[in-house]
Amino acid sequence: MTIEEQIQTTELPIRRSHLSFLLPLGFNNKKRLAFTRSLEKNEYTFFKLNEWTEQENIFGEDISVKSKELEQYFLPHTEHILFPISLKENGFHRFTKAIKKTFYLHIHKVKIPFHIQSLDITLGSFGIAFLTIRVTLDSSDNDLADVLDFVHHFRTVQPKLHEEQGAVIFDPDNNQPFSVHDLLFTKLCPFLKEFMLHDENLDRYFGSLPYYEDERMFVSAFLFSEDNATITDDQLYRMGAVNGRTSTGEIFISANNPSYICRFLNQCLHDRWAPHTYTIVTSHAFMTITNKRPESMVRKLSQFMGTHYYNLLLHYFYKIMLLRVAYEYSKINWEKDDEYVKSLIKFITLFSSLYYKKEVSTRSEGKEFTSLFQNAFHTNSLFKEVHHTLQALYKSQENHTADRMNMLLFVLTVFTVISGIYGMNLVIKDWELPSGWKNLTTYTWFEWIAFVTAITGIGLSVYLVITTFSKMLKSKWRKKNSKNQME
């Protein structure tokens, strides 16, 4: 490929940036009630659709989300999951708190001021929670590369790669430096650690999910460029790939081939409102950029913060749950985990029947975004794998149960027949006498066979009764113990 054929990066002035970062967490579902009380104690407000107060201004200046639009956007079977009317109902229990505080991120010798508008902590089903941080960048003269560089470093909770390191956050109140991890779990939400599940063997952020393939937050953004500026393919690609700047401060792009970028955008780009507004959806980001003035995009921004956010959250939940099923399936010890297999079958069935839906929106644009989310998160292919997993579990369970019952019935039948032939006629009479056991020494060879057969048959029957009842009790205990995780 010649230099002329390579993609050229271009600058794009960004006047306003509305960013949201989503971090999935695993929490102890047995402590759900205590968790909600802790959230309320820390001034988080439970979101109720019919009691939504648009004056809370949690999204930023002059941005409001209409509750009626949220109500009309989703299909009924999805709406009751996203907007439960009380904490007693299954679904997404969202708690929100306004923060309204400014911090600084230092990277590449540049200081970027950012303002945290609010936090959401959404308690989903099956012990999955989402922490959402809403951020606006205070400067109005950033380039797109600066915004993406901020996003690239802020979304990295635990920086490990060389290109992820070097970012430091400062609190202007005391000029104290800390990492993104410390900002989230020490500065903003120190109470979270009490309720998070954490594997000490994983060198990852606190509360991370072992089946989640990334250690970085997912980002959604609504960006306002300079009025009527030209939005190019390289800019859209860099948004989807979250390409900011190199360590030397140059614009970074992770692809050079224009044909590759064209194919990438064909899969990820929503250009219904081109050439003024574009939205791109990838496994890293959900970003909208427009070259129109903010006052003409009030409703679009409201939809992005409301209906589109919930559409994203739901499909992000789908992705994580489908990855979890694959992870749980890989942990099965087929020879020992009979009850675990049963609980996994129930887990998959509950998720598939109550939560996972391919169609979630009533609006045409909502359906278009749903298709983009499904493509970005590979939910359709993951769900097919889950379906095959469920069939394999059912087949294994049926075969295991059938083999065990057939063997027991065979053994009991043999003992019943033999003991019926020998035992009832040869030795049972002796057991009725007080001195019957003394006759053992006078038994013939056939009487000894009858005696051993009868005793063994009775013992096997007692064993079968005991093991059956013990498994029933164990299953009942496991079901009670895992009830919170399955709702």
Residue appearing with tokens 């859209």: 236
128 vs 130: CA distance, rounded Å: 7
Is residue 357 a contact partner of residue 78, using CB atoms and an 8 Å limit? yes
Which of the four pLDDT bands, split at 50, 70 and 90, describes residue 406?
low
Note the pLDDT of residue 432: 56
Taking the CA atoms of 346, 351, 357 and 360 in sequence, report the sign of the dihedral they define. positive
Q: How far is CA 156 from CA 19, 103, 165, 208, 288, in A?
A: 14, 17, 9, 13, 21
320 vs 406: CA distance, rounded Å: 40
What single-letter DSSP state applies at residue 27?
B
437 vs 149: CA distance, rounded Å: 89
H/E element, 117:
strand 110-123
Note the pLDDT of residue 325: 83
| Percent above pLDDT 70 for the chain | 76
446 vs 427: CA distance, rounded Å: 10
197 vs 25: CA distance, rounded Å: 8
Is residue 126 a contact partner of residue 485, using CB atoms and an 8 Å limit? yes
53 vs 109: CA distance, rounded Å: 41
Nearby residues of 487 by Cβ (< 8 Å), 6 or more positions away: 29, 90, 125, 126, 350
**Which of 156-160, 164-168, 456-460 is the least confident region?**
456-460
382 vs 373: CA distance, rounded Å: 13
Which of the four pLDDT bands, split at 50, 70 and 90, describes residue 486?
very low
Note the pLDDT of residue 487: 47
Note the pLDDT of residue 3: 42
Determine if the pTM surpasses 0.85.
no
One-letter amino acid of 204:
R
Largest CA distance in the chain: 110
- The secondary structure of 56-70 as a DSSP string is G--SSTT----HHHH
Nearby residues of 234 by Cβ (< 8 Å), 6 or more positions away: 7, 8, 9, 10, 253, 261
User: Is the pLDDT at 155 greater than 90, yes or no?
Assistant: yes
User: Is the pLDDT at 216 greater than 70, yes or no?
Assistant: yes
Which of the four pLDDT bands, split at 50, 70 and 90, describes residue 444?
confident
Which of the four pLDDT bands, split at 50, 70 and 90, describes residue 448?
confident
Note the pLDDT of residue 419: 58
> What digits encode the pLDDT tens for the residues 13-28?
999 999 999 999 989 8
User: Is the pLDDT at 162 greater than 80, yes or no?
Assistant: no
Average pLDDT over the chain reads 83
What single-letter DSSP state applies at residue 485?
G
- Mean pLDDT for 40-49 is 91
**Residues linked to residue 196 through DSSP beta bridges, in sequence order:** 27
- Mean pLDDT for 305-317 is 96
Which of the four pLDDT bands, split at 50, 70 and 90, describes residue 1?
very low
Note the pLDDT of residue 484: 45
**Which of 250-264, 300-314, 413-427 is the least confident region?**
413-427
User: Is the pLDDT at 152 greater than 90, yes or no?
Assistant: yes
Tokens linked to 419: 């003991």
- Rounded to a whole number of angstroms, the CA Rg of the chain reads 31
The residue that leads in pLDDT, 62 or 351, is 351
Is residue 379 a contact partner of residue 322, using CB atoms and an 8 Å limit? yes
445 vs 428: CA distance, rounded Å: 16
The residue that leads in pLDDT, 367 or 415, is 367
**Which of 178-182, 196-200, 361-365 is the least confident region?**
196-200
Is residue 215 a contact partner of residue 121, using CB atoms and an 8 Å limit? no
Which of the four pLDDT bands, split at 50, 70 and 90, describes residue 138?
confident
H/E element, 36:
helix 32-41
406 vs 393: CA distance, rounded Å: 20
The residue that leads in pLDDT, 226 or 424, is 226
Tokens linked to 108: 């590449």
| Percent above pLDDT 90 for the chain | 47
- Mean pLDDT for 66-75 is 88
> What digits encode the pLDDT tens for the residues 86-106?
898 989 999 999 999 999 999
* Region at 207 (left for phi over 0; alpha for psi -120 to 50; beta for the rest): left
The residue that leads in pLDDT, 451 or 193, is 193
Write down how long the chain is. Answer: 487
Which of the four pLDDT bands, split at 50, 70 and 90, describes residue 146?
very high
